[in-house]
Amino acid sequence: MIQVTPQMRILVAVEPADFRKGIDGLARLCKEELKRDPFCGWVFVFRNRRATAVKVLAYDGQGFWLSHKRLSSGRFRWWPVSKTGAGKTLEAHQLHVLLSAGDPDAAQAPAAWRRVNAAS
């Protein structure tokens, strides 16, 4: 199982993907549509047309992970829209909310990084 950490870079594809595609087809979408190298360590999230399922693609240095979640009822209500790009970046806590069929924009969490003052 792959663990999503605050340090991971996450990109959600705006347009729905053809879910007949496997790892190679989704990696090609990363290169051609999202303009990102699928081997770069980003976590890529795709949705099907009916908004009932998502696929998560990640490369861990040895190989690809492909996770698929299909809702037993309902749809993913939130999905990004963009006129300027093919993807939207999310924070790790927002991805967890999205995978629970929630609204990542409504999720509140402390900053992923903050300065720690060194004690003298």
What residue spans define the domains of the chain?
A: 10-106
Check: pTM over 0.75? Answer yes or no: yes
Q: Residue 7 pLDDT more than 70?
A: yes
Determine contact, residues 75/84, Cβ cutoff 8 Å: no
Query: What 8-state DSSP symbol labels residue 117?
Result: P
More confidently predicted of 69 and 84: 69
**Average pLDDT of the segment spanning 105-120:** 74
